[in-house]
Copies of this chain bind each other. A is one copy, B any other.
């Protein structure tokens, strides 16, 4: 098939959607983030790339942030957190907030997976700041586990696509990772 060039402002498909949190002026604040990824194996680190937002103040002040994975039932609230700024709207009351040992990382009780992160490095890019944090605590609930591991079907998260701006459910199981490709190995 013939390849065509598209806008360089391109994306991966799909993007995970999380709620990133920080404490600004003593209050928890949250924003919707689709630019998020694990970035280091050991110690475990995660990166969030965010523009010049209200949330950044808290991350810079406390050297900490949280990454919370919302389930589908939080889609409206998550989207709302991406629409309004904490500078004008108090988002602290949207969720039941709890804390682990890291006081600058507000965790969301309604989210199946919550990670408290201590800033390791803030990479200043031309527009965004890529905050790289060490995951110092992670929380879930028994009901989201299968065989002791978080189960995506129980978490029931949703994903994002851009530039069309849509959310998507997670679909059926497709295969075992780091396994199904073995069929292509030549016999040795």
The chain A residues found within 8 Å of chain B, CB to CB, are 1-16, 18, 34-47, 49, 51, 67, 69, 72, 75-84, 98, 100, 107, 109, 113-115, 120-121, 123, 125-128, 130, 132, 135-143, 146-147, 149-152, 155, 157-185
> If A69-B12, A167-B176 touch, does A35 touch B39 (CB 8 Å cutoff)?
yes
Instruction: Choose from B10, B39, B169 the contact partner of A130 (Cβ within 8 Å).
Output: B39
Q: Residue of B at shortest CB range from A83?
A: B181
Is there contact, CB below 8 Å, between A37 and B49?
Answer: yes
Q: Which residues of B contact A45 (CB under 8 A)?
A: 125-126
Given contact pairs A14-B157, A35-B37, a sample of 6 additional A-B residue pairs in the complex whose CB atoms are under 8 Å apart: A1-B143, A6-B138, A75-B175, A152-B166, A165-B178, A168-B172
Identical chains in the assembly: 2
> If A12-B46, A40-B125, A185-B83 touch, does A138 touch B5 (CB 8 Å cutoff)?
yes
Q: Which residues of B contact A69 (CB under 8 A)?
A: 12-13
Is there contact, CB below 8 Å, between B167 and A174?
Answer: yes
Q: Which residues of B contact A159 (CB under 8 A)?
A: 14, 159, 170
Q: How far is the CA of A184 from the CA of B94 in the complex (A)?
A: 10
Q: Which residues of B contact A181 (CB under 8 A)?
A: 76-83
